[in-house]
Structure 1
Amino acid sequence: MYSFDYVRPSGVTEAAGAAGENDRFLAGGQTLLPTLKLRLSEADKLIDLGGIPDLKGISVSGSEVTIGAMTRHADVAGSAEVKSAIPALAHLASLIGDPQVRNRGTIGGSIANNDPAADYPAALVGLGATVHTNKRSIAAEDFFVDLFETALEDGELVTKVSFPVPEKAGYAKFPNPASRFALTGVFVAKTSGGVRVAVTGAGPCVFRQREMEAALYGNFSPDAVASIRTDPSDLNADIHASAEYRAHLISVMAARAVKAAK
């Protein structure tokens, strides 16, 4: 691990003000700390967000669920409010990693890292969520840009995420048995404005499956998507699964997500 300075601010303004060009915000640390330890990344300064109470917590107001950026996966998974308003979101959080990861990792850290196999991006895009930062509000589809890339600018940090409550939603994934990351995960949400289908794990970045959305709009059932095939040409291929296999999994996981939707 390369040397760095460490600060623990007590507020968002202080945290943002402390950030320089080669400084990093520390949330749960589930990706950042191992990469620092292995010297795969470096920082002049680590800005620990753990001492900012305003970044933590879950609230439900009307038809919207708001989750603070430093809220842990375990808290989302166990929240009675989330389970009541968006059961699929609580279920998704319960599938992230293992108990150790869920009790350290945070929603803000996960989406800011934008790992292509992370679960939360599918929920944000599938539900049409909004990411709030210390500077602005960003629609989820505009927030996730590409592999490990987001719309965040230097010195900008996620403060919370707001999720519209759908009529029903479901999530299903085929996990890597070791890491529990999604080889392919699909989040399906039915709203008054239509249906959204978001896919994670299969490509370099979360994306919507428009053909499945159109099919589910007319017939919200597993049969409507089970036979729809996704073009594998732009999908990931690695030692765990070929692009063709991930394309197949999109259809299978989409059908399971629809069946589980509530």
Structure 2
Amino acid sequence: MAEQVPLCEFGVSQTKPSVESVLSDIKCLLAEYGFGGFWFQGIANSAYHDYLQNNQKAILSRRTLRSRGGVFASSPKISLLHEQYVTRVAPTDINFSEALRLESPYCYQFYENNQPNKAKKLFARHGINTVLSWPLKHFASDAWCGRFTLLSRHPYAELELNDLESVLKPAQMSLFEHFHHELNPYRQNNLFNQTAIKALKMAATGLHNHEISEVLHITVRGVEYHLESMRNKLSATNRANLVHIAHQLEII
């Protein structure tokens, strides 16, 4: 059994803790600020631009950005709420795209033309009066960052947020330390063929296509196909550029 992190603290553990234990500790700390639940995910820095472009052939299409992959929820109930939001409300909700602006926190707007919108109706059914999106820069990546979506039964004006980021930063660091690959948005939703990733990893070490084909038990033409597919998806100019981009996005 994984060693548990002390309640409401982020300690150093010799073994990888469970997702549930880390989320429980974060939830405990956030409760002091009036938040009863949250979900956390990795977000590509280009997400807002990609969402507006709405290019169906892009890696991060609107459908991909609204997926449930790589999202950690503080409880099964919150996980279900997130699923309901991204499937039923997000496609037509202005809050979803606005929350992809990662320059600063964003509080969801629940009224449009003085009428409650779908987001208001969904969250109100769960007793939630404030939804706050809080992005945090990834200390080791220029391609993606983390984002907490914080849920509270209190109105926004009643929340004390002055020191909140001092809690969120170490919370994110703990999640990235233990679950980095699971949160990387470029490693979610089967964006890339796993054989193609294996081929690219080998190419990055300097192996030639015929050597890769022998290891993967596919034809040289198959290796060429997978690498070309990756090159097109990542808009790379050549093999070296492909490896560079893949490293930047932490795909390999």
Query: Shorter-chain TM-score: what band?
Result: under 0.3
TM-score (normalizing by structure 2) = 0.24
Structure label with greater radius of gyration: 2
Larger strand proportion of the pair = 1
Tell which has more relative contact order, 1 or 2 (C-alpha 8 A, sep 6+). 2
TM-score (normalizing by structure 1) = 0.23
